[in-house]
Amino acid sequence: MSAVEAIGAPGPRGLARSLFSWAGANPLLVVGGSMVLVVGVVAVFAPLIAPYPADAGSATHPLEIFKPPSAAHLFGTDQVGRDIFSRVAYGTRVSPLIALAVVAIASVVGVTLGLVAGFAGGIVDEAIMRVTDVFLAVPALLLALAFAAVLPPSTSSTILAITISWWPWYARLARGEAASVSRRRYVENGRVLGLTRRRLLLRHVFPNATTPVLIQASLDFGGVILTAAALSFLGLGAQDPTPEWGLMVNEGRSFFQTYWWVVTFPGLAILFSAAAFNLLGDGLRDRLDPRRAVAR
């Protein structure tokens, strides 16, 4: 028995059992988590999984154009002879990472502005929320399309365009939580005791906004993957030879009736990843949302 276990604290095995027990109570969480784990493993080991790593870049094989799925090419080849399986595998390093970057930046910006607005109130709250309302008045996809259209097409532009359209949701969510928490008795008591506004905000208001933001972020991953794929499909996102799934669908759409595999497998990758993060988000919401817990 380890010293940690001897004093009653759970060891690594105990923590693992507790985690599996906590997640196992919700089938959506288990299924979604397993699917996300598959995406993560493929992303990490893409160089080992992909049989033709060079095909994830600018390599071309004129003699291998439009080969159907076979033992040599599991997903077939595209219009320049590149192995589609290798490109789909390397695509797990592009689309999900775009979603990760967007959600991380949007949540940091949105939560910061939302917490300041909800905690400060008054004219600060009004100014931040009116700007937020302007962004929320336009559907996120249309706003992302507008910004992507004026930026040079690239992966970085995709991240920036989607982030600009996504942060208001986190600002609105965090502002509501901050406004609610700042009126609670323990926060008022802290003001009376002379605690600084910064300490109250960071130590008491911010932790209470973590759970809803985490739930929203997990739900947003699937939506961001679909949005990034849509921008690339329209030619406003990643550019060839980047193995981005939406771009691959766009490149193969002209050949769909004859060479179905060029579009099908990147499309299935988009579907699988979006479904994985949506299921994971739904599972986390069921487990972490106290209102749903009370309803059960």
Q: Supply the DSSP symbol for 68.
A: P
**Under 8 Å between Cβ of 86 and 56:** yes
User: Does the pLDDT of residue 106 top 90, yes or no?
Assistant: yes
3-state secondary structure of 237: coil
For position 29, what pLDDT does the model report? 84
Comparing 3-7, 97-101, 187-191, 263-267, the range with the smallest average pLDDT is: 3-7
Q: How many CA atoms lie within 13 A of 115 on its CB side?
A: 22
d(CA 169, CA 175): 10
User: Does the pLDDT of residue 284 top 50, yes or no?
Assistant: yes
**Under 8 Å between Cβ of 137 and 149:** no
Percent of the chain with pLDDT over 90: 52
User: Could you give phi then psi for residue 191, rounded to 5 degrees?
Assistant: -65, -40
pTM score, whole prediction: 0.82
Domain boundaries of the chain, sorted by first residue: 95-295
Confidence of residue 208 (pLDDT cuts 50, 70, 90): confident
For position 1, what pLDDT does the model report? 42
Q: What is the CATH number of domain 95-295?
A: 1.10.3720.10
Amino acid sitting at position 219: L
For position 63, what pLDDT does the model report? 92
**Under 8 Å between Cβ of 285 and 215:** yes
**Under 8 Å between Cβ of 246 and 95:** yes
More confident residue, 184 or 139: 139
